[in-house]
Chains A and B, each alone.
Chain A
Amino acid sequence: MDIMDIIVCVLLFSGLFFLTGGAVGILRFPDFYSRLHPAGKLDTLGSLLSMTAFALFNLHHFSLGALLTSLKILLIVVFIFLASPTATHGIVDAGVRAGLAPWTKGEKRR
């Protein structure tokens, strides 16, 4: 296992760690609005770290095709960075316009 594979493993496992935080946060936060916080941020960061690991691992046997594939993987990251906050804002907007009240301390968990 050379140094590149170790970097790939560290990036991949940290990405999986952040995705774990996102999944647990979606399950355990008390409210719809607070659940969007792990769903919007931790999934984006976990996707960024995992996709960077995949782009580095794909460059292991270097060629022009592998370079283009790695650039396409990074293009997916750029698209996720544009699309994920937009989707989160769309869901929040739907909740606000439908009149959902935010959770306050002392209420029952929803």
Chain B
Amino acid sequence: MPSYLGNLMDNIFSYSSLYLAFLMALSLVRAVIGPTVLDRMIGVNAIGSKTVVLLIMIGFLYHRVDMFVDIALAYAMLNFIAVLAASRYFQKRKGLYDEALYR
């Protein structure tokens, strides 16, 4: 395989991770403006599930994917546990719409 083809796949992964960061910024908009706290949790959960994909892409960019796979797996478990704990915590709060800045 010639060397410039490897550079081509590196470029594809690099621009894909930039685009994925842009998608994470879109999800961050929902996490900021979401009227209830559960909408913010949806945004944070979406950012976390995109971060797992982004971590493996960073591993391909650094040519150390065997290390970044473990980080991605740990991040996926951490995101899952955080969302479950937060949803258990917020399920007893009544009147979630009262905290909205605007309705």
Give which listed residue, B23, B49, B52, contacts A20 with CB less than 8 A: B23
Give which listed residue, A19, A54, A75, contacts B73 with CB less than 8 A: A75
Given contacts A47-B49, A90-B84, A100-B97, contact A32 B38 (CB under 8 A): yes
Number of interface residues of A (CB under 8 A): 51
Give which listed residue, B12, B38, B52, B56, contacts A100 with CB less than 8 A: B38
What is the CA–CA distance of A93 and B90 in the complex, to the nearest angstrom? 10
**Chain B facing A: main interface SS:** helix
Q: Is the CB of B49 within 8 A of A80?
A: yes
B residues with CB within 8 A of A: 1, 5, 8-9, 12, 16, 19-20, 23, 26-27, 29-30, 35-36, 38-39, 41-43, 45-46, 49-50, 52-53, 56-57, 60, 65-66, 69-70, 72-73, 76-77, 80, 83-84, 87-88, 90-97, 100, 103
A residues with CB within 8 A of B: 1-2, 5, 8-9, 12, 15-16, 19-20, 22-24, 26-27, 32, 35-36, 39, 43-44, 46-47, 50-51, 54, 57-58, 65, 69, 72-73, 75-76, 79-80, 83-84, 86-87, 90-91, 93-95, 97-100, 108, 110
